[in-house]
Amino acid sequence: MTNHFGDMEANSKVILFIGANSAVANPVGGMKHALRARDRNNAKIVVVDPVFTRTAAKADMFIRIRPGTDIAFVYGMLHLIFKNGWEDKEVIKNQSYGIDEIRQEAKHWTPEEVANVTGCKEEELISFTRLFATTKPATLCWALGITQHSVGSSNTRILSILQLVLGNMGKPGGGCNIIRGHDNVQGSTDMGNLADTLPMYYGLADSAWKHYCKGWGVDFDEFVKRFAVSTKEKRDKVGEKVKGTNFNEYFYHDPKNPEDRNWRNEKGYSLAKWWQGVLKEENTFSSGNLRVLWVQGTGITSMAHTTKIQEAVDKLDMLVVAEPFLNEVAILSDRKDGIYVLPVCTQFESEGYVTATNRSAQWRTQVIKPIYESKEDQEVMFLFAKKFGFYDELVKGMMLDVVDGEIKQVKNEFVWPDDATDEIARVGQSIGNVGRTAKRLKRHQENWHNFDPVTLMGRGPVESEYYGLPWPCWDKEHPGSPILYDITIPYEKGGMGFRNRFGLEHNGVSQLADESVTLAGAKIKGGYPQITKDNIEKVLGITLTEEEKTKIGSSWSMDYSGTILKKCREFGITPYGNARARAIVWEFPDPIPKHREPLHSPRWDLVEKYPTYDDQERNFRVASKFISEQTEKDWSKEFPTVMSSLRLVNLSGAGMIERTSKYLASITPEMFAHVNPKLAANYGIEDGAMMWIHAPQGTKIKVKCIYSESVTPDRICLPYNFAGVMQGVDLSSRYPEGTKPYTIGESSNTVTNYGFDIITQISEYNAGLCRLERA
């Protein structure tokens, strides 16, 4: 999220919700701010969605498109923007790279072709584009309806490019507002709870591991012995070349010795396809089968392909569930042993901070001590570490600090969660986390009443600080950055240009911002590279002392001494550079976003014209099908109905917590699907009757049919918040005594079609096909 909801309320003149239903999805507060923007600014609200949602009911304009065609729709907007000269020519000239290629692709997407592919009306596209492009500032919001596609990564890119082209990035009331589903989703991604990154978005290269080892007080050479290690020379000599996971690297391994790999430098299994590490149905790359699944803090039954998860659980040696409420992955299998349920605490029995969707942190004080035999999450982890012999290494980082520019041990005991928070601040330089210490966050909690809820600006004891210190918060004097990429305000007030991440030039074109683009108050004019040990003296025109040269880190994101941050503050510049925003990602299969039909497309005539990707040899340690799945047959002949997911305001995620409340459960007491009456009539299904939904993978679910005009006769939508029934079989008997929710039902993910994003491997939840049958 580049901006925040308060900024949208105060400044936005047009608000686009695309793939987002903020009126019912967490956090619902986003809708409140949009409605206030209408009252304050006469802002227009537009919803682009396959379904007429509750957000659409409050909109000034609703445009219905076919699931999986967002890129085509946005290119239709760009076609009109370039044709009418509505683009921000100065931003394109001075702060961007690759827009010419976007312009060329947009020529193809005439209103006629967009209407053909997306199903929207030409006049809707033209009218909305004129409104969005000519009204300043305009913002857009997206959520899982954008990301959960085989082209999800391209979806997010094209929306960012749209805002770049219109000059809405880095502007109050503009930007891209990505709505996170829970109160700490942003925090969990910041902390690297993914299979392809270390915390704070450090990669998996040894330079990142060395940075963390230094911050943890651990010897790197000893640390790497935990992994299967081989030398590059040996791999080059005996290995075969296998395409890597980020599309521009190649890894070498000896096919006769699968252990001969540098596993620390590679992605693990993703949450979407972890079960392939057990079932091995597709080509996998690992040293053996996954044998244990540990579930803690995630609703794994909200993952796609529930039947595959069920098969994998049956084959695991052990399943551990550490949750305050029973995670229903524990009842998928009928096995009698090898499943352990650990009662961890709720958030009310814990303390620490969460990071909200706008990058602001919020400290939460423990309300009550853990009750009964339950333990806090970290206590479970500490016990685990003690059992397996690495407890001292796990906690050592909390007893370190920077002293005279060097990491040193300063205490022999730690205080949880204060010292953990300070450790995270100390090592999280890559997102500018250094200033978000426990002391500052606690002070914000104590003075929440002294912050303006719209501007986030504080007063009194928190004067000139933004609530929650939204990152980047570069140092302990920095106020936080509520709006990313705003060059009109100084560094010390949260200003910055675009980050220099991709080299100094590409195809002979400088990747640094034009000399006319200077951060307010900066002593360095125009664009400049990210600051490193090797270039700091040249870029800043200074001479470091010998002591500074000895202690300084290799770059701004790996400098524990604080030298780079200190010098950048003196010069009023952002340590990550001042560059151009690139529209071309040359490492990706699609350097610029392209419309590609969903793997299971209802338009066989468009599959040949807009095919998906070639099959993926390897990503997250497993192969994935794309074109072979899409072209196996015309899936729409047997499965003619499009299927999308929806959210329920009374349930969230897998619903495993909310369905244990009889009051919340009573609002939606059983699983259902919204079906257009015309579609239901074709199958003889009455309103309120039970029906089967069949999917291309041979799975099915039995749910109630609810007549609804919110969907057209070619599609249905259904919630993903239920579990406890599997393909018509009631699993109630498998719940431990006292843990069964007040309501159970089929999981929609049982019929989620096969399909994954080419980059992130998120499942294609929102563009599958199905067939209905009267039960």
Q: What is the pTM of this model?
A: 0.94
Q: Where are the beta strands (DSSP E) in 628-667?
A: 641-646
Percentage of residues in the chain having pLDDT higher than 70: 95
Tokens of 312: 């994998």
Instruction: Determine the average pLDDT of the residues in 165-169.
Output: 98
Q: Is residue 262 scored above 80 in pLDDT?
A: no
Give residues with Cβ within 8 angstroms of 688, minimum separation 6: 704, 705, 706
- Nearest CA to 727 out of 757, 689, 699 is that of 699
**pLDDT for position 228:** 62
Among 148-152, 175-179, 241-245, 607-611, the least confident range: 241-245
Q: Is residue 247 scored above 60 in pLDDT?
A: no
Contact 481, 473 (CB under 8 A): yes
pLDDT-based confidence at 232, cuts 50/70/90?
very low
Among 166-170, 242-246, 260-264, the least confident range: 242-246
Domains assigned to the chain? 5-180 (3.40.228.10), 619-774 (2.40.40.20)
The mean pLDDT value of the chain amounts to 93
Among 124-138, 298-312, 361-375, the least confident range: 298-312
| Preceding amide of 470 cis, omega within 30 | no
pLDDT-based confidence at 238, cuts 50/70/90?
very low
Query: What residues pair up with 321 in beta bridges, in sequence order?
Result: 295, 341
Instruction: Determine the average pLDDT of the residues in 723-738.
Output: 95
Burial class of 663 by CB neighbour count within 10 A (0 to 12, 13 to 18, 19+): exposed
DSSP alpha helix (H) spans, 183-326:
185-190, 206-216, 220-223, 232-238, 276-279, 306-315
**pLDDT for position 244:** 38
CA dihedral (410, 411, 412, 418) positive or negative: negative
Instruction: Tell me the C-alpha distance between 50 and 121, whole Å.
Output: 13
Instruction: Determine the average pLDDT of the residues in 672-686.
Output: 98
Instruction: Determine the average pLDDT of the residues in 552-564.
Output: 97
Contact 304, 144 (CB under 8 A): no
Helix (H, G, I), strand (E, B) or coil at 69: coil
Q: What is the pLDDT of residues 575-597, one digit of tens each?
A: 999 999 999 999 999 999 999 99
Q: What is the pLDDT of residues 524-550, one digit of tens each?
A: 999 999 999 999 999 999 999 999 999
pLDDT-based confidence at 434, cuts 50/70/90?
very high
Q: Is residue 237 scored above 50 in pLDDT?
A: no
Instruction: Tell me the C-alpha distance between 135 and 43, whole Å.
Output: 10
Q: Is residue 43 scored above 50 in pLDDT?
A: yes
CA dihedral (469, 471, 475, 480) positive or negative: negative
Q: What is the pLDDT of residues 609-630, one digit of tens each?
A: 999 999 999 999 999 999 999 9
Give residues with Cβ within 8 angstroms of 631, minimum separation 6: 607, 611
Centre a 10 Å sphere on the Cβ of residue 545 and count the other Cβ atoms it contains: 9
Percentage of residues in the chain having pLDDT higher than 90: 88
Q: Is residue 772 scored above 80 in pLDDT?
A: yes
Q: Is residue 366 scored above 80 in pLDDT?
A: yes
Centre a 10 Å sphere on the Cβ of residue 258 and count the other Cβ atoms it contains: 13
Instruction: Tell me the C-alpha distance between 396 and 536, whole Å.
Output: 32
